[in-house]
Structure 1
Amino acid sequence: MPGSPYEFTAGNTADAPRSDLPALLSTLAADLRGLDYTLDGVARLLGPAASAALNRDQIIPAVLAVEHAVRADNGTAPLAAVVRLWLLAEPQEKETLDAALPGTGADGLLELGLVQPVPGSGLLTAKADLRPYGWDKNEDGSGGAELWVASDLAAHQQAGMLRHDHVLGIGQASTTLVQTTIRRHTGRALDLGTGCGIQAFHLLHHCQHVTATDISERALAYARFNILLNAEALSVDPDHLEDRVSLRLGSLLEPVAGEEFGLVVSNPPFVITPRSPGEDAADQFTYRDGGLPGDGIVASLVAALPGVLEPGGWAQMLGNWEVAAGSSWEERPKSWVRQGTDAWFIQREEVSPEQYAETWLRDASESRDRQHYREAYAQYLADFGSRDVAGIGFGMVWLRRPADGRAAAISRFEEITYPIEQPIGPHLGAAVERADWLAAHDLAATHLLVAGDVTEERHQRPGAEHPGVILLRQGAGLRRTTLMSTELAGFVSACDGDLTAGQIAGALEALLGGGEGFDAGTFQGALLADVANLVRDGFLVPAGNPALE
């Protein structure tokens, strides 16, 4: 929407890297590529153990690995200097950076706002974090990317608490949303609460145009810097950024009011934070705190997001929700969903108020001041206690506006806390397709097959004639396990594509019809309802339809 009052175009925001120097950004990208400052290049320099430790924000193994590489004098000194500067936050000599990044040089880094002088030392230190990021190519060789992401220095790279307008880098929540998102081509996509731009990077690979919003001007400045630094890899023309990207400054859905999108993704500031009388935005950590009491930020988005979706469009987000004492976790999320909206919530974790407080106080390094930590911890517990909160859930949310003329077909609220396959997005997409298929087809007339990743497991006591427990297990996707009755197990064993589901159910009815307690009037209907659940969850798939697997 050209000319929007929310449009963000500034390239020289205070305390954020400059994005108004496209030629210098192009030179920096070439320097970084020439150094092999990539995920694989850094991994080779550090080795597996130090790389894994660095991913946990533990830098000492990486410090030792870099020292060893430099002593070995194996030509890695330039890469080591850049790793030390940005990943380990170790000041470097100007001459060292000039040699490592010959096109950009130390002066170029200073001009871009990526480094700053260390007073009285002649050294330069990182002013921002800049690290490699990317993803592998698809099996057909398409879709891979090698990028770099700038963000504020993390807690392990600096002293003291984080600034309240801290711009988060590549965090666990952002990668979780990346892995969860169902990828499909769409004309217009929305990244709500873009931060430094991670979700927008991925959207640009399968969407024609991306609108990225944030309430933080610094976050948008970082996102703009990152998009232009990676312009070539993201197929963005720096001179015509608006052709593919629109950056909007504003709260929640205000910057896109009246617009519709085929896909919306959001890693919103969902952290539940105690509210204080008289507080303002400067008192809040904007990257995680939406400013509303309790889980209000997630509740408001679940209710409002369908309003910016085009018919058939969907939204995916992460969120926290409060679980009141004596209630089930899904009670509150169910109340947020707008009537007529497809919805799928998967709770991945539930923690106590104490665990929640500890996690988020540690996240912002608020535990470094003992008195502040004690007071803040008490505020969390008092806040949760005021609403009788016994637990806080975290999970994934999928919402869809049904296509014109179609009723909502999906309403699922489930808890899956065990490890699942990643990325899970393709499997969630296939599950949605299966639900839509079930709503549109006659299951009884369908030929079914057992999915390729499914195995059967039987348990029986020694000497027993028949198994007491029969389980189906998935080896991929959500890796579900389901308990089966004897008749359902018999049905699945016959799913080789030769007979229709109705024919198999009829044969089982004839076989079991004389059994004790058998109800001929309800047998087939109940059995096919159970079969529909197996199709919905991917244990069984329609023959000849690989898109549903």
Structure 2
Amino acid sequence: MTDFSRVPGTPQSSNLPLLAALAADLQDAGYTVDGVAAFLGEEANAALGRDQLVPAMLACREAAAAGTATAVAAAVALWLVGESVPVEQADEAFPRTGAAGLRELGLAEKDPAAPELLRAAVDLRPYEFETGSSAENASTHLWVASDLGEHQRPGVLPHGHVLGIGQASLSLAQLSLRAPADRSLDLGTGCGIQVFHLLGHARHVTATDISERALGFTRFNLVLNAPSLGLDPEHLQDRVDLRLGSMLEPVAGEQFDQVVSNPPFVITPRVPGEEAEDRFTYRDGGLPGDGIVSGLFRDLESVLAPGGTVQMLGNWEIQGPEDSKDAWNTRLRSWLPDTMDAWVIQREVLSPAEYAEMWLRDAAENRDRSEYAASYAAYLQDFASRGTTGIGFGTVWMRRRMDPKSAPLRRFEEITHPLESPLAPHLAAAVERFDWTREHPDLAAEHLVVADDVTEERHARPGAEHPGVILLRQGAGLRRTNLMSTELTGFVSACDGELPAGAIIAALAALLGREDPEFGPALEEEVRNLVLDGFLLPAEQ
């Protein structure tokens, strides 16, 4: 098995004592999320989070000019800002590792323009995330290496670029379930961010990628952070298995309890005669249209154990009429096997032009005007060839059902407002409510209560005796708003857990004079939807 410890062009992870020395130096330097924020100050630190380097660069230069540069200042200048630093400063800031050790590890190199200076060879930045419950207030502190971005080293990104910590990877981490798992799979691991999170609840994690360089970065990050992640650096294979290959090929025939993936889903025009090395591997899976995402919808079942779940991000093409409410999810539904539950939340829709602009800018392909124009035109022609009117982006939750004959969960919704983070606990609770409603098809005998985060909002014209609009709002989770009818408002008002749902519906029918046979079943269906959405919960009996 390849251990990926010495992949060319990536940090080297075979020298365990040197990596342990580096970790000690970084810790002593205060090169942590809080340490960087304290050195830079609020404004410069916020700008750095937007990939705006000038305020941080000025802070580093001012500290150097004043003779107050600290070890954390050297680390910020070198790896976050992309400034060259004197070799002597690196030796002083990282005494166990030294400038020579940084070069040996592949983290820094001599500046070609000034050999007495050291410049970054990679991006190395602190990262932390909460572990356990919020009451425990525990955090895991790490350092994560990836390739330098175009804001640190100008120019079009190399096609083999290994992406670092970004909004997409953070979103996936917040989306992913943290229930105990025997085997988890990180499909398209990149620099390994999802693996760090999976190790907190999975006995064993398999991480795959089509890029050998990505696996080299992942191994380096695992070894550097081994103590914090509970790993033995000499026996990584006991908890983590790194595999090279495309999509599901490296794990064919195996089964996992959980799969997480930020796959290379970016829709990219295909060019006749293109080779794999012509693609940006971190985002382009090499298939036309949304073939990567559709293939995963169809095939992930094959690597899931019964009851196993998937959390992933994706793009999909919208090819129906622009004014059709269901145009965006019609194709997605057709991709799903009958034995898979699915819940898809579309978070954003871009026009073909907006999509082209975003991804050309992402890889800094907008530097050369003629090449930019040709690439832009290729995007528009590609989308037009398939009748694509929009491109959706969102989150996907799937599950292989324990009972293949049971009714599947199929939820496709568009939610563009801010959601609570992390979202995973709310998704898990919502799925539990779906399972509960499937086990309790007749709600008449069930006792329900209003969720703690739910509030009621009433709107009326000035002087009106009754409200014209009644809204039910969630303060947590998906933060939905539900427009209420008079009878549904009355039902919710009576949900204190004392009376069964059937008794409340019967009382409302008598109060409102509704003797029509459709009243009860229709109201019960509305109540069921409120349970699924988390406005109402089963009472604890």
TM-score over 0.5 (shorter chain): yes
1:502-537 deviation line (CA, Å, top 9, x unaligned): 121121122122xxxx34312221111111100100
Equivalence for 2:369: 370
Determine if contact 1:196/1:226 at 8 Å carries over to the other structure.
Answer: yes
Q: Which amino acid aligns with 1:13?
A: V
Cα distance between partner residues in 2 of 1:384 and 1:266 = 25
TM-fit CA distance, 1:462: 2.5
Equivalence for 1:461: 461
Determine if contact 1:491/1:505 at 8 Å carries over to the other structure.
Answer: yes
Equivalence for 2:539: 543
Cα distance between partner residues in 2 of 1:70 and 1:244 = 43
TM-fit CA distance, 1:171: 1.0
Cα distance between partner residues in 2 of 1:324 and 1:405 = 30
Cα distance between partner residues in 1 of 2:405 and 2:104 = 55
1:189 aligns with 2:184: yes
Equivalence for 2:307: 312
Cα distance between partner residues in 1 of 2:112 and 2:65 = 28
Give secondary structure in 1 for the equivalent of 2:269. coil
Equivalence for 2:496: 496
Measured at CA, do residues 450 and 71 of structure 1 come closer, stay the same or move farther in structure 2, by a change above 3 Å?
A: farther
Equivalence for 1:136: 130
Determine if contact 1:402/1:408 at 8 Å carries over to the other structure.
Answer: no
Matches within 5 A, 1:97-246: 97-121=90-114, 122-137=116-131, 138-141=133-136, 144-246=139-241
Cα distance between partner residues in 1 of 2:406 and 2:43 = 52
Equivalence for 1:394: 393
Determine if contact 1:349/1:394 at 8 Å carries over to the other structure.
Answer: yes
Q: Which amino acid aligns with 1:542?
A: P
TM-fit CA distance, 1:325: 4.6
Q: Which amino acid aligns with 2:469?
A: V
| Of 31, 46, 52, the match for 1:37 | 31
Matches within 5 A, 1:258-297: 258-297=253-292
Q: Which amino acid aligns with 2:27?
A: R
1:522 aligns with 2:518: yes
Cα distance between partner residues in 2 of 1:197 and 1:49 = 29
Equivalence for 2:59: 65
Determine if contact 1:271/1:320 at 8 Å carries over to the other structure.
Answer: yes
Give secondary structure in 1 for the equivalent of 2:151. helix
Equivalence for 1:470: 470
Give secondary structure in 1 for the equivalent of 2:470. strand
Cα distance between partner residues in 2 of 1:171 and 1:351 = 20
Using the aligned pairs only, state the percent identity: 60
Give secondary structure in 1 for the equivalent of 2:227. coil
Matches within 5 A, 1:79-98: 79-98=72-91
Equivalence for 2:512: 512
TM-fit CA distance, 1:119: 2.1
Cα distance between partner residues in 2 of 1:151 and 1:500 = 57
Q: TM-score of the superposition, structure 1-length normalised?
A: 0.95
Equivalence for 2:530: 534
Instruction: Specify every segment of 5 or more residues in structure 1 that has no aligned partner in the other structure, as ranges.
Output: 1-6
Equivalence for 2:449: 449
Equivalence for 1:77: 70
Give secondary structure in 2 for the equivalent of 1:136. strand
TM-fit CA distance, 1:406: 5.8
Cα distance between partner residues in 2 of 1:143 and 1:205 = 12
Determine if contact 2:111/2:119 at 8 Å carries over to the other structure.
Answer: yes
TM-fit CA distance, 1:73: 5.7
Determine if contact 1:54/1:62 at 8 Å carries over to the other structure.
Answer: yes
1:231-273 deviation line (CA, Å, top 9, x unaligned): 0111111111111000000000000011000000000000000
Measured at CA, do residues 508 and 325 of structure 1 come closer, stay the same or move farther in structure 2, by a change above 3 Å?
A: closer
TM-fit CA distance, 1:59: 0.4
Equivalence for 1:331: 330
Give secondary structure in 2 for the equivalent of 1:210. strand
| Of 12, 22, 27, the match for 1:18 | 12
Give secondary structure in 1 for the equivalent of 2:285. coil
TM-fit CA distance, 1:61: 1.2
Equivalence for 1:3: none
Determine if contact 1:303/1:337 at 8 Å carries over to the other structure.
Answer: yes
Cα distance between partner residues in 1 of 2:515 and 2:267 = 51
Give secondary structure in 2 for the equivalent of 1:268. coil
Cα distance between partner residues in 2 of 1:70 and 1:544 = 63
Equivalence for 1:481: 481
Q: Which amino acid aligns with 2:417?
A: Y
Q: Which amino acid aligns with 1:66?
A: C
Equivalence for 2:345: 346
TM-fit CA distance, 1:283: 0.6
Q: Which amino acid aligns with 2:349?
A: E
TM-fit CA distance, 1:461: 1.9
Equivalence for 2:293: 298
Tell me whether 84-93 or 21-30 shows the greater mean CA deviation: 21-30
Cα distance between partner residues in 2 of 1:332 and 1:409 = 17
Determine if contact 1:143/1:205 at 8 Å carries over to the other structure.
Answer: no
TM-fit CA distance, 1:409: 3.6
Determine if contact 1:409/1:436 at 8 Å carries over to the other structure.
Answer: no
Cα distance between partner residues in 2 of 1:500 and 1:274 = 57
Give secondary structure in 2 for the equivalent of 1:367. coil
Cα distance between partner residues in 2 of 1:300 and 1:405 = 21
Cα distance between partner residues in 2 of 1:10 and 1:531 = 54
Give secondary structure in 1 for the equivalent of 2:136. coil
1:395-443 deviation line (CA, Å, top 9, x unaligned): 0011100114662441001000111111111111111111111111242
Q: Which amino acid aligns with 2:531?
A: V
Cα distance between partner residues in 1 of 2:346 and 2:451 = 25
Determine if contact 2:80/2:123 at 8 Å carries over to the other structure.
Answer: yes
Give secondary structure in 1 for the equivalent of 2:226. coil
Equivalence for 2:415: 416
Measured at CA, do residues 70 and 502 of structure 1 come closer, stay the same or move farther in structure 2, by a change above 3 Å?
A: farther
Give secondary structure in 2 for the equivalent of 1:131. strand
Cα distance between partner residues in 1 of 2:437 and 2:477 = 19
Cα distance between partner residues in 1 of 2:172 and 2:149 = 20
Give secondary structure in 1 for the equivalent of 2:389. strand
Q: TM-score of the superposition, structure 2-length normalised?
A: 0.96
Determine if contact 1:128/1:150 at 8 Å carries over to the other structure.
Answer: yes
Determine if contact 2:360/2:366 at 8 Å carries over to the other structure.
Answer: yes
